[in-house]
Amino acid sequence: MKRVLTSSAALMMLAAAPAFPQQKATIEHVPGIEFSSVKNFLKLPPGEYLGESVAVATNSKGHVFVYHRSANTRLFEFDQNGNFIKEIGAGYYGFEFAHSVRVDKDDNIWTVDEGTNMVTKFSPDGKVLMVLGRRPPAVQGAVAFPGPQNGNAPAQKYIFCRPTDVGWDPQGNIFVSDGYCNNRVVKYDKNGRFLAQAGSEKPGKALGEFNLPHGMQVDGQGNVWVADRSNIRYQVLDNNLKPIREITNLGVGWTVCISAGPHQYAFLSNSNPNGNQPGSWDITGEIYKAELDGTVLGRFGHPGKLAPGFQVVHMMDCRNPNEIVVGEIESWRVQKLILQPTSTKAAGAAQ
């Protein structure tokens, strides 16, 4: 309890200061994890390009799905060696501005689109199985820019406002982080029926409130990890979305990944900010590897225009905790990183 209180006090101080687009992590003495970036991992057919590669995920066969912002937002599938297989969802109604792609335990592919406000479940062969949320009807014309500046409308059970991520617990319940103009996490049953939410349309700083929940994953116990980006923290919620704890010493919470298997690890990214302000490369851009109890095992990565540098890591796949696939915004790139396995020696505690 004392630790939480201390963290909360620190957070209040942070909140009182001007809003920094970048934040140095306060944790110290974290050992570096050796890693290398696989050269030219993804091999695109001639004439095909990735745009902002904001989302990446693998399935059980190791196939890589990249959901990226091109002229039209597109979803590409590559095999485990990075060879292009096919495009899924060309021209699909739910694609406009990519934010997340995740693959569930049955290899269904889920996309989260913050342009259409839609979350879509595709079968492994690319057929639409379920949609959550609704695209604003075109017939209503250009909609007002959503967000606090225009007054956040009350969050609705089945309508999103720039949703950011999706995950599932072992029972198949669906969790959606929502998002840039709502500030909540929503839980649905496996058939898409609303069960609960934490947070609301309003941003907030208390535990269980959010200010831009930007990335989210669910661990094997059904706990929900949320990258609470503008609050510069992570929150862990239980399966009923009651807050368990916050982590405030790992910088800006951009995105989170939970590895597969019986021993799960959390990967947490203090991504360098968009725009690359002078000085930002020196204090941000690293990814942390931690035990689910918050023990930080190591860190890796540094900003840079050229691989293996990171240019705003937006999403990580960590099915294999020693082979991380990262999607970056500003380099329009996906990298596959081979990590040196970590020892079990604790390096520090996430607070």
139 scored as a contact of other proteins (CB under 8 A): yes
Q: What binding mask, one character per residue, do residues 86-105 give for other proteins by CB under 8 A, x or -?
A: x--xxxxxxxx---------
Chain centroid to CA 183: 15
151 scored as a contact of other proteins (CB under 8 A): no
| Three-class secondary structure assignment of 68-112 | EECCCEEEEEECCCCEEEEEECCCCCCCCCEEEEEECCCCCEEEE
Binding other proteins (rule: CB under 8 A), the pick from 4, 11, 14, 72 is 72
- Nearer to other proteins among residue 49 and residue 158 (C-beta): 158
321 scored as a contact of other proteins (CB under 8 A): no
171 scored as a contact of other proteins (CB under 8 A): no
Q: Which two tokens stand for residue 103?
A: 């693959």
- Cα separation, 258 vs 268, whole angstroms: 9
Binding other proteins (rule: CB under 8 A), the pick from 4, 11, 130, 195 is 130
Matching residue, tokens 């014309």 = 141
- Cα separation, 79 vs 70, whole angstroms: 21
User: Minimum distance from CB of 214 to other proteins (Å)?
Assistant: 24
Q: Which two tokens stand for residue 297?
A: 């095992």
Q: Which residues lie closer than 8 Å to 263 by C-beta, 6 or more apart?
A: none
154 scored as a contact of other proteins (CB under 8 A): no
193 scored as a contact of other proteins (CB under 8 A): yes
- Nearer to other proteins among residue 133 and residue 321 (C-beta): 133
131 scored as a contact of other proteins (CB under 8 A): yes
- Nearer to other proteins among residue 76 and residue 254 (C-beta): 76
Q: Which residues lie closer than 8 Å to 57 by C-beta, 6 or more apart?
A: 64, 65, 101, 102, 103, 109, 315, 317
172 scored as a contact of other proteins (CB under 8 A): no
Residue whose C-alpha is closest to residue 40's, from 339, 336, 338, 317: 336
Q: Which residues lie closer than 8 Å to 187 by C-beta, 6 or more apart?
A: 173, 174, 175, 194, 195, 196, 197, 240, 241
111 scored as a contact of other proteins (CB under 8 A): no
- Nearer to other proteins among residue 116 and residue 173 (C-beta): 116
Binding other proteins (rule: CB under 8 A), the pick from 32, 105, 194, 206 is 194
Q: Which residues bind other proteins (CB under 8 A)?
A: 72, 86, 89-96, 116, 126-128, 130-131, 134-135, 137-144, 156-159, 191-194
